């Protein structure tokens, strides 16, 4: 796919990986609609990006938004859907565990209500996470949700063909989702990646490069691309 001149809808497009993807799409000439629950947090955006507000869990609002944005060629979701539970499963608050699956429900809503407006040559990319296949202690909820997202993509790919759908699976990425600052933040990432073949946190931009690869490569569907610094090998 030649991105120039295409229209892209990016959920979670005002922060972290979604924001990086929106900026890279715009830099390659796409008309980008970046959507989040709180678009005001995005600040100044480059030319070519329009901000919209929507919660991926709100099916009625999503349906209205998609109809208003239609038609489009690219659909990306990096929206988390809400908070994610962490910690030992046997001590976990089950409402928190269940709430972690808002990410899956949000993705399912985006694909269900957005695909009908996507060009037949269009591409969808969702964002999972390395814990889907190799969870570290305390990542039971995150890993379970990520595994469900990747299974969803593999199973829905044939049904929506010739439209394509793929997943990017990030490892430890330096994004605003980690609220730590200064030396404490640096120490957190150093510890988290110390045993990885590439012993550092990845960047949102590196994950966005993978998103753009899956958009541009017309011979990929139903697959997962890892951007994890070798987490799966550690």
**pLDDT tens profile 130-189:** 999 999 999 999 999 999 999 999 999 999 999 999 999 999 999 988 888 899 999 999
Work out the number of other CB atoms within 10 angstroms of the CB of residue 172: 21
**Annotated domain spans of the chain:** 7-176+204-228
Which stretches does DSSP call E strand in the chain? 7-11, 31-36, 49-53, 72-77, 118-127, 164-170, 173-174, 202-203, 224-227
Q: Could you tell me the pTM of the whole model? A: 0.95
Residue 74's Cβ-count burial label (10 Å; 0-12, 13-18, 19+) is buried
Nearest residue to 10 (alpha-carbon basis) of 51, 47, 45: 51
What CA–CA distances, in Å, run from 134 to 59, 87, 169, 171? Answer: 32, 15, 11, 10
Strands 224-227 and 164-170: parallel
Q: What is the CATH number of domain 7-176+204-228?
A: 3.40.50.720
Mean pLDDT of the chain: 95
Question: How far is residue 12's CA from residue 21's CA, in Å, rounded to a whole number?
Answer: 10
Strands 164-170 and 118-127: parallel
């Amino acid at each position: 796919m030649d991105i120039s001149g295409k229209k892209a809808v990016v959920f979670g497009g005002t922060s972290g990986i979604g924001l990086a993807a929106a900026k890279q799409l715009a830099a390659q000439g796409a008309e980008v609609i970046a959507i989040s629950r709180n678009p005001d947090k995005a600040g100044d955006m480059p030319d070519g990006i329009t901000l919209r507000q929507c919660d991926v869990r709100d099916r009625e609002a999503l349906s209205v938004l998609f109809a208003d944005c239609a038609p489009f060629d690219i659909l990306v979701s990096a929206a988390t859907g809400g908070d994610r539970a962490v910690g030992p499963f046997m001590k976990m608050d089950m409402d928190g565990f269940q709430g972690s699956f808002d990410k899956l429900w949000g993705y399912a809503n985006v694909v269900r209500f957005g695909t009908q407006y996507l060009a037949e040559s269009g591409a969808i990319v969702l964002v999972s996470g390395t814990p889907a296949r190799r969870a570290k202690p305390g990542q039971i909820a995150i890993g379970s949700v990520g595994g469900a997202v990747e299974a969803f993509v593999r199973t829905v790919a044939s049904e929506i063909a010739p439209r394509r759908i793929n997943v990017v699976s990030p490892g430890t990425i330096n994004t605003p989702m980690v609220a730590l600052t200064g030396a404490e933040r640096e120490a957190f990432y150093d510890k988290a990646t110390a045993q990885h073949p590439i012993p550092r946190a990845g960047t949102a931009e590196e994950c966005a490069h993978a998103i753009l690869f899956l958009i541009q490569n017309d011979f990929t569907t139903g697959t997962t691309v890892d951007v994890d610094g070798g987490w799966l090998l550690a």
